[in-house]
Structure 1
């Protein structure tokens, strides 16, 4: 299934995309795509729904982030070899883990708002996933059983704050609107191999990043097994898995986002995001 949330910010309703690509409003049978509804057993039950009996949502409706009730927003850094090299950093022996504020989460078509006096706001195409059940000390062989589904993510990053303001990376990655995810969450029964997803990112129609998740240094399963050793992942938590080469900070000279730029993320299976920089 592909799960979506639609409506004005703060008033979103849950939907499921039907076989023709239309969003069906399922708010009469569940309140929202909150953590208790992301359990794989409940999602399996919902697969039996006759979606044609539910109202079609107007294509003009705003799409919000596809899940709600997120309690932790976990990110992995330097997870593609070419990106580590363009950043001038050594390949990691273990996953690089940092946190983004949950207040940075936003919808896939919401504007990215530049912070006051921003000097170096950058884009980062990433695969995201959402946890379905409490994960603690999870064996790698069982790790994908803890995934509710997968989505596109843009790990927007202000490099000046991230790298030059005497703090951890989260400092430059937690501004409001710096965590667009969506447009939908593809449930794990539909997307069984997260290590074979082709995706790309454009700025103003110029392709900046194009990669396959097979190039990740640490797979989704490895990330879950690793992170769950030292922090408990909770249902509904969002994890993003690192960006491939092609970020603005890696260019010579560096290129960063400015007001009016349009950032587009695309994947055949994960859908499309588009943000205007404001």
Structure 2
């Protein structure tokens, strides 16, 4: 299934649903629960199968995409998890590198990603995102796949000159990350460690790799994180970005006003967003150094 989280344009009503060949089945309408976070807290996503055969209630032009999970309890990022990326940044630490993102740093598919006024080093990073579907703590790598609800694309926008010696400050400016276009359930994705992942900047291919080149596999990541914290339905894990980011290019290649950034992952879809400078967006962002 492809599960979409959205706002109905005409009604300004939030809901979520199943995307099929005819349009979108508004599950929120039929199930009496319009919040995907609330639904996942009480029901497994495979319970949505009962709605798959229903007629579409909406078309894609009737909705605006929200982040796939707009109010996750936790968003973890895994840094330096591809071989080429590690070479580009001279990374030698063998342990997984983790950071966190906040929910308000995300936008959905076709949403506007905001370049902070405080930086000239706003970078792109295309990533495979995991959505957790089952609660677990101390999950073994062998049991990890059973805890995954599905997968999506993520554009982990990075404010490089605010990463300092840790990543979190450079990852959490408002609307700097994008998550979508939809969640594809694990049964339809196939082997998540054998997916092509590509990023385009203004139709220029800037990242081109496969998830087979992850240093730490998806089961290993889930096992590692669940050792120190409980994972719950709706939690999100970004699994790292391939090489080819703008920071290490000569000359550097960063995001600017009106750029279009796209992340495509095999068997999942293509996430598209336009960049806007914060000075033109109406979003107030602090310009005081940390």
- Cα distance in 2 for partners of 1:220, 1:37 equals 25
The match for 2:84 is 82
Q: Measure how far apart 1:237 and its partner are.
A: 0.9
1:102-140 deviation digits (Å, cap 9, x = unpaired)? 211211211111112312000000000111122210011
Cα pair 1:101 1:170 within 8 Å, conserved: no
Contact 1:3–1:184 (CA<8 Å) still a contact in 2? Answer: yes
More strand by share: 2
1:160 matched residue in structure 2: 161
Runs (5+) with no aligned partner, structure 2: 277-290
* In 2: Cα distance, 1:40 partner to 1:126 partner: 28
Count of aligned positions: 273
Deviation sequence 1:130-176 (CA, Å, 0-9, x none): 1112221001100011111100001100000013xxx5211001111
On the 8 A contact 2:14/2:35 being kept in 1, the answer is no
2:252 matches 1:254: yes
Q: CA deviation at 1:270?
A: 1.4
Structure 1 SS opposite 2:44: helix
Say yes or no: does 1:47 pair with 2:49.
yes
Q: Give the counterpart of 1:185 among 183, 186, 190.
A: 183
Rounded Cα–Cα distance in structure 2 between residues aligned with 1:106 and 1:85:
30
User: Structure 1: 5+ residue runs without aligned partners?
Assistant: none
Render the CA deviation track for 1:26-53: whole Å, top value 9, x for unaligned.
2222323534533796322321335333
Paired residues for 1:121-270 under 5 Å: 121-163=122-164, 168-270=166-268
Deviations 1:13-70 (A, max 9, x none): 111011x162222222232353453379632232133533341324352111122431
3-state SS of paired residue (1:84): helix
> Hey, what's the Cα distance between the residues in 2 that align with 1:252 and 1:138?
42
Relative to structure 1, is the Cα distance of residues 52 and 133 closer, same or farther in structure 2, using a 3 angstrom cutoff?
closer
Q: Secondary structure at the match of 1:207?
A: strand
**TM-score (norm. length: structure 2):** 0.88
- Contact kept? 2:135, 2:232, Cα under 8 Å: yes
Across the aligned residues of Structure 1 and Structure 2, the Cα RMSD in angstroms comes to 2.0
